[in-house]
Copies of this chain bind each other. A is one copy, B any other.
């Protein structure tokens, strides 16, 4: 309360060039976009290829050194993905600073339908982070990051899953820690905006619907697995209803923002 909000310093990598009135460098905004997204995209350059690679991975930002840190504090990004063997090898073999990566997370909040095709837009929240990825080696940090990531899928799931983690599971889980070098975010909200010439076009205004179609992720009715013998627990039911309600409200509030 009352403390200033930390920002990532602007540099040549993270400075938003276009529509920069939509940009924010606030740690809280950027980390909040990542930590409320269901996955992050990680991009890196494999050796001997002209192309960067993008892999979608489950990730979450946190601080192992200071677990009580919140979204407004300096955090590392921890990622875990099933498609990441190349990435894991690269970050193990690379120099000690780690492998340069870009991570991004994006929420679509609405389809903004204007009079002209040209003025169509999305309401969205998008974060882009740059940093260096290394494999997490310390078993304590690994276990902590597994808990962080599991609880990002469904809050409180970790302590409701089969514990303890076995040595074999710990051994065969590969996690990357990305130390953030710089980052930025862009947020577009509000209603459709049309230039004056279009608004004075009576034919257009009299015939074309303009507005926002709000968009959000929904969790449907839970589908128990074939081996399940347990009634749906409260922590899952509550997460589902708060996730759906908050998503719905956010998409409406984004459209109504002035």
A-side residues, CB < 8 A to B, are: 12-13, 16-19, 38-39, 41, 43-46, 48-56, 58, 82-86, 100-104, 106, 108, 111, 113-118, 120-122, 124, 126, 128, 130, 146-147, 150, 153-154, 157-158, 160-163, 165-166, 169, 173, 181, 186, 191-192, 194, 198-199, 201, 204-233, 236, 240, 248, 251-252, 255-256
Q: Is the CB of B209 within 8 A of A162?
A: no
Q: Which residues of B have CB within 8 Å of A104?
A: 41, 54-56
A12, A13, A86, A111 pick with most chain B CB within 10 angstroms:
A111
Q: Given A124-B56, A225-B191, answer yes or no on A161-B215 (Cβ-Cβ < 8 Å).
A: no
Q: Given A43-B54, A52-B52, A216-B217, answer yes or no on A222-B233 (Cβ-Cβ < 8 Å).
A: no
Q: Contacts A41-B104, A54-B102, A56-B104 given; 4 further ones with Cβ under 8 A? A: A120-B153, A199-B227, A212-B222, A223-B256
State the Cβ distance, A21 to closest chain B Cβ, in Å: 12
Q: Is the CB of B204 within 8 A of A215?
A: no
The complex places the Cα of A199 from the Cα of B225 at a distance, in Å, of 12
The complex places the Cα of A82 from the Cα of B126 at a distance, in Å, of 12
Q: Given A12-B49, A56-B104, A218-B217, answer yes or no on A162-B208 (Cβ-Cβ < 8 Å).
A: yes
Q: Is the CB of B212 within 8 A of A225?
A: yes
Copies of the polypeptide in the assembly: 2
State the Cβ distance, A18 to closest chain B Cβ, in Å: 5
Of all chain B residues, the one with the shortest Cβ separation from A58 is B122
The complex places the Cα of A255 from the Cα of B86 at a distance, in Å, of 28
Say which residue of B198, B227, B229 sits within 8 Å of A194 (CB atoms).
B227
The complex places the Cα of A104 from the Cα of B102 at a distance, in Å, of 14
Say which residue of B39, B54, B161, B252 sits within 8 Å of A117 (CB atoms).
B161
Q: Is the CB of B157 within 8 A of A117?
A: yes
